[in-house]
Structure 1
Amino acid sequence: MTTNIFQDLYAKYKDKLSLPKPWDTVVISILNVLLTLPTFIIAHHNFLELDTRIPIDRILLFIIIFIVFHYILIAIKKYIIIGVFIYLVMLFYGTLVGGYSFYRVYDDYRSMMYTMGDNPYPQDIIIDKLLPFPNKSKVLKAIDFTNPKVRNFALSATTKHFQEAKQIKGYSEYRSIIQSFAVFKEIKSRWNYVNDPIGSNYIATASETLQHFSGDCDDHAILMAAGVKAVGGIPRLIHTDAHIYPEIYIGTKRDLENITFLIRKVLFVEESKGKQIHYHIDERGHIWLNLDYTGTYPGGKFMSETILGQLTLND
């Protein structure tokens, strides 16, 4: 009986809720572009590209995706206004309660379009925006930077390393970053790589890892992120196809120049001698310095450049 009532209501109002001409064409065109662009970028990153003077394969790929979405939207156009209305309500609710908001939609699309430009520091930001960070809730819980053991370890590292940096002009501006480098140096000097048990992806908390300074790449990344966070730095974790490593927020290109000077001339003189400083620039122009255990100094060489996701701890 209840089912029949809903069916009657749907039959009565479905034509009224469908878009009148020419608005149906306008809405379909807008939705088509919004769906085609991110789908094309994902396909562009994951399909082999022909080495031709004119990127015919990419042009055809875009056209095919556009046509497919066009026919799908045409087929369901009677239901589009309902879907758009529900979507807008969800975004409005997210804006009010701090969830997925209108700004987040804009920000995600801006990030996607950034990857289509001539970016000299290629990152797969589009994948980052659409794929979840692996074990995100467990990883966030494991970064227990407020734990007294983690906080005390980070403080001891800052008193053990780089006290001479206090004499450098501009030290106060980069205090948290330099102290984060002290945490990096202490962890690096004591780290012992140990694989997880076979068939298991064991995620240790930072306070647990402190007992033996041992673990795999995600354990190191979690400990490093917790230590950096404990002294006021802003860390993020980068997920690649086979690796997780930490980075620290540096700021602008001017900040990078100053930090590079400190690394090369004061803090890691021997370790960085004649070597390159490696970093990423995100879609907002923010610079992030590599803190992976594979390097002997902040900004060491990346193990992998293919970024599948990132998790930033800036709260």
Structure 2
Amino acid sequence: MNFNDEKYIKIRKVLLVIVSILTVLPLAPLINRYIPPLMVGDWNLDLTLSVALAALATWLVLRLFRFLLIPAVALCVLVLLYNQLTNGYGFSHMVTDYRSMVENNWGRNGQKETDLILTPGIFDGPLTKTIKVLQSKVDSRDSVVRNFSVKHSLDYFDEYHTKYGPIVRQLSLFKYINSNFKYVSDSERDEYFATARETILNGLGGDCDDHTLLMVSTLKSIGAHCRMVLSEGHLYPELYAGDEKAFDRLQQAIIYLFGDRSIDNIYYHEQNGQYWINLDYTAKHPGGPYLSEKAYAIIDL
């Protein structure tokens, strides 16, 4: 058997191409974790750059250390397998990352706040009282609330902290709360507003206002800026995303980290270039659909 025959040379080239692709696949998302988000319109430039760098690294190995290519692939597979078993960056994360590379366009379903009432003080009667009671129930400095927030802000996405920073702590906390919160109605006669401490101690049960108070209190305790939106028969929380650039970065993080969800739109409110996204208990991901579009009052905190 002559391995210098043209037939075997072609076979070796094909095998090298296959092995190279297998090297680029796990290497690209690993590189991407250490590249800051780069957006050009709706195009995730950092994801494309990661693939290019992975391909370049593979090409260099082929040129200089071809004999190391197969061991490198084997090492990447073993690392991913180990991480998968130990809840680190494993195959499921890689699939999610590549899904975000493909689904890098998302819609925005926003609402201008021209019709929203931003100053609760103009209201008279029971609504004013309700707003003041809700504001008084926010307890972000409570030790139980703070400890709960810190603990569950570390449950998810920790491996992306280098890339997205504090955003991942806020999204982790949202995911834990919305994955574990159970709806329990108040009595027919009385409306009860539970503090975040009470909701934590009762096992994360309550109605929409209890969920909202829990969400805004816990997020505030780790440095986020939140508010409550009062609509007809409903109360829900919103997270401040910042200006359009910061909002685009948050959108990218949501698409990236909640890749197991079908995300068609990010629902938000915008006023004077400032963006707020929906964190309702009905939302399966941050920026999920609004349960009620009509807002009577916005309660800033």
Normalised to the residue count of structure 1, the TM-score between the two structures is: 0.56
Alignment-derived partner of residue 134 in structure 2: 139
Say which SS state the counterpart of residue 233 (structure 2) adopts: coil
Alignment-derived partner of residue 250 in structure 2: 259
CA distance in structure 1 between the partners assigned to 2:226 and 2:145 by the alignment? 15
CA distance in structure 2 between the partners assigned to 1:269 and 1:134 by the alignment? 41
Alignment-derived partner of residue 277 in structure 1: 266
Q: Is 1:213 paired with 2:204?
A: yes
Give the one of 204, 215, 228 matched to 1:237: 228
Alignment-derived partner of residue 292 in structure 1: 280
Q: Is 1:163 paired with 2:151?
A: no
Alignment-derived partner of residue 308 in structure 1: 296
Q: Compute the displacement of 1:120 (Å).
A: 5.8
Q: Is 1:192 paired with 2:182?
A: yes
| Aligned ranges 1:24-103 → 2 under 5 Å | none
Alignment check: 8 A CA contact 1:128 1:308 kept = no
Unaligned runs of 5+ in 2: 1-109
CA deviation vs aligned residue, 1:98-144 (integer Å, no higher than 9, x gap): xxxxxxxxxxxxxxxxxxxxx96255224755335552232222211
CA distance in structure 1 between the partners assigned to 2:173 and 2:128 by the alignment? 25
Alignment-derived partner of residue 81 in structure 1: none
Alignment check: 8 A CA contact 1:181 1:298 kept = yes
Say which SS state the counterpart of residue 112 (structure 2) adopts: coil
- Superposed CA RMSD: 1.8
**Greater fraction of residues in strand:** 2
Alignment check: 8 A CA contact 1:206 1:219 kept = yes
Unaligned runs of 5+ in 1: 1-118
Normalised to the residue count of structure 2, the TM-score between the two structures is: 0.59
CA distance in structure 1 between the partners assigned to 2:118 and 2:138 by the alignment? 24
CA distance in structure 1 between the partners assigned to 2:174 and 2:276 by the alignment? 15
CA deviation vs aligned residue, 1:156-210 (integer Å, no higher than 9, x gap): 0112111011232xx23xx1x3322111111111110011011100011110001
Q: Compute the displacement of 1:289 (Å).
A: 0.7
Task: Rate the CA distance shift 1:120–1:234 in 2: closer, same or farther, 3 A.
Answer: closer
Say which SS state the counterpart of residue 187 (structure 2) adopts: coil
Q: Compute the displacement of 1:285 (Å).
A: 2.2
Q: Compute the displacement of 1:260 (Å).
A: 0.8
Task: Rate the CA distance shift 1:178–1:197 in 2: closer, same or farther, 3 A.
Answer: same
Say which SS state the counterpart of residue 140 (structure 2) adopts: coil
